[in-house]
């Protein structure tokens, strides 16, 4: 069909209109207790086939910290209100980028590693995970940063206490939206 390119371009413009596009979210992380000076931001972008997650944190103790999406959108009670891992399929704990949805929880992001200065960055891609569509939708859930390293043992990686927490919110809801 000779007019198919034109139709494609027209639908592309509609697709990119701001109202129709809800593919970005962020979670602002803070310490779960006043003495924990942890802060930072996590950006979540829907991409083809999954969710791209970019984290920038400060104030951590040096070393690896388990980094997961938990089931409830609350950071109250020193992070305990976030509940357990988001695990809609009731499968074992793992590392989502490598193990996939049958052998890992959708928000099993492994570890984020802080340097001697307490700063940590992580870029991770979660296949099949989305913000609002389908059973692996994570908008409104929470991101937990743990005290200890995720050793990938069952049921949740032996990661210890919860030191940082933030709720995943649509990017358009964020007051200091910079993108
Ligand atoms: Cu966790």
Give residue 62 CA to ligand 1 midpoint distance, Å: 18
* pLDDT per position as a tens digit, 33-76: 999 999 999 999 999 999 999 999 999 999 999 999 999 999 99
| 1 pLDDT tier (thresholds 50, 70, 90) | very low
pLDDT at 85 exceeding the cut of 60: yes
Rounded to whole angstroms, the Cα distance separating 36 from 14 reads 45
Give residue 14 CA to ligand 1 midpoint distance, Å: 39
Give residue 66 CA to ligand 1 midpoint distance, Å: 7
CB atoms near residue 119 (< 10 Å): 14
What does pTM read for this prediction?
Answer: 0.84
- The class (CATH top level) of 22-172 is mainly beta
Give residue 146 CA to ligand 1 midpoint distance, Å: 6
Q: Which residue has the higher pLDDT, 48 or 174?
A: 48
Give residue 57 CA to ligand 1 midpoint distance, Å: 16
* pLDDT per position as a tens digit, 99-137: 999 999 999 999 999 999 999 999 999 999 999 999 999
Domain ranges of the chain: 22-172
| DSSP class of 36 | -
Of all helices (H) and strands (E), which one includes residue 12?
helix 4-15
CA 52 to chain centre: 8
């Amino acid at each position: 069909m000779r007019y198919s390119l034109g139709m494609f371009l027209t639908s592309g413009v509609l697709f990119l209109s701001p109202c129709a596009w809800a593919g970005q979210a962020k979670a602002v992380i803070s310490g779960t207790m006043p003495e924990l000076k942890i802060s930072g931001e996590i950006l979540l972008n829907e991409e083809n086939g999954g969710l791209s997650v970019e984290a920038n944190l400060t104030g951590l103790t040096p070393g690896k910290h388990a980094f997961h999406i938990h089931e409830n959108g609350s950071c109250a009670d020193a992070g305990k209100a976030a509940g357990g891992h988001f695990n809609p399929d009731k499968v074992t704990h793992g590392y989502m980028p490598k193990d996939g949805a049958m052998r890992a929880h959708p928000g099993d992001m492994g570890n984020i590693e802080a340097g001697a200065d307490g700063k940590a960055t992580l870029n991770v891609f979660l296949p099949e995970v989305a913000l609002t569509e389908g059973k692996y939708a994570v908008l409104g859930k929470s991101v937990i940063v743990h005290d200890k390293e995720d050793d990938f043992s069952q049921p949740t990686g032996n990661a210890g206490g919860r030191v940082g927490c933030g709720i995943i919110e649509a990017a358009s809801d964020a007051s200091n939206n910079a993108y």
